[in-house]
Amino acid sequence: MTITPAQIQSASQALRSVLRFDYPADSVLSRYFRDMREIGARDRAFVAEAVYGVLRRKRTLERLCGPEASTRQLILAWLARIEGTTLRQLGEGLHGRDTDYFTEIKGREAGEMSLAESADLPDWLAERLLATMTPEEVVALAQSLNRPAPLDLRVNTLKLERDALVARLQADGIACAPGRFSPAAVRLEGKPALQKHPLFLDGSFEVQDEGSQLLGYLLQPKRGEMVADFCAGAGGKTLLLGALMRNTGRLYAFDVSDKRLSKLKPRMARSGLSNVHPVVIASENDPRVKRLAGKLDRVLVDAPCSGLGTLRRNPDLKWRQSPEALAELTVKQTAILASAARLVKPGGRLVYATCSLLPEENEAIVAAFLAANDSFAPLNAQEVLAKQGITIECGEQLHLTPRSHDTDGFFAAVLERKA
């Protein structure tokens, strides 16, 4: 594929906006493409790939290019050193200064790099990971996080069986296969546009990472139960829980963001679920939450977190997060878990989950909660899944990583309120 000067210029402009880190990279790119409507689909794909490529390998590229490198130089270095692009593929029209820089950077030595630079991580994050991993494990994990994520679907079992979805997609020329772990997962080989596919429009499937799907199976809601998705967001896990409940019982979708919850409503309509009740709350101590104290069979807490387990999809997060932000999050996580736990009735189940890889957001939060709440006891996550026919080595507390499971990075602890 020939890369044009216009593509490099567009990627450089977009990257300049993204590297301010004022907003998430995906929203900055969306705004850029809205403002630059003349850019065609092929050029947009190159811009997005280049921007995300630089975000993933930012430390390596800065080491090669120097701290004062322009965004244009970072794009050229990404093409030369990460993508292995040849001078011939750059096509006609690049001025001599670009071709000279491209040729020079292709042969430049990076020199001795620190662990954080080798892993393309900020120093503080590499140090946190080193507290529980060897340097080799940190680099291997970081390399797995630097690969683009595959596209996973979750079949809506109220409407379709997984094998039927696979057969239909394959008949439509979409290469896919059943997921390794989740009984509802389908993994696609490429990243086709599916927003207009008839089975998406009628709610027969949703896009959802396979690791995220396993959280619903850890909660294991049953028909007719009262259940809450405590931090529902746009409702991906809510829809799975509703399907597992076979559209019976009562399923609360709580969130503090009306904007996020509003995205759930059209998804509910497509899915055919009628047992979901979205509720915007002011905080974890909202009176509408307190009224349900001790009444719910199962509560899922997918807590707000650093999101560092999703770096395959959101590589900008490692540059946008900070130790200060992490400290604020752990305070919030502690409060949310304590509040959600009050809803669980004796004999009921509580699942605390994050898409983080850091112990202070995961094991430490759960350990502190159990120390302060002797009415709860941990269950073995691997055994909970095994009883549902899901074979996976994930530990007593669920630990998923792209390196070991080819999913996003997830943590979950399964807790039971003593009867």
DSSP string, 129-169: HHTTS-HHHHHHHHHHHTSPPPEEEEE-TTT--HHHHHHHH
Confidence (pLDDT) at 101:
92
Average pLDDT over residues 265-270: 94
Confidence of residue 411 (pLDDT cuts 50, 70, 90): very high
Which pLDDT does position 253 carry in this prediction?
A: 97
- Under 8 Å between Cβ of 313 and 362: no
Q: What is the pLDDT of residues 314-344, one digit of tens each?
A: 999 999 999 999 999 999 999 999 999 999 9
Does this model's pTM top 0.85? yes
With b for 16 or more beta-carbon neighbours within 10 A and e for fewer, the 340-356 pattern comes to bbbbbbeebbbbbbbbb
Per residue in 148-178, pLDDT tens? 999 999 999 999 999 999 999 999 999 999 9
Q: Judge whether 250 and 275 are in contact, CB under 8 Å.
A: yes
pLDDT band at 88 (very low <50, low <70, confident <90, very high): confident
pLDDT at 81 over 80: yes
- Which two three-digit tokens encode residue 49? 């790939």
Predicted confidence at residue 93, as pLDDT, reads 62
Catalytic positions are: 355
What whole-number distance in Å separates Cα of residue 247 and Cα of residue 6?
51
- Cβ 41 vs Cβ 5: under 8 Å: no
* Cα 113 to chain centroid, rounded: 29
Q: Which two tokens stand for residue 232?
A: 């529902």
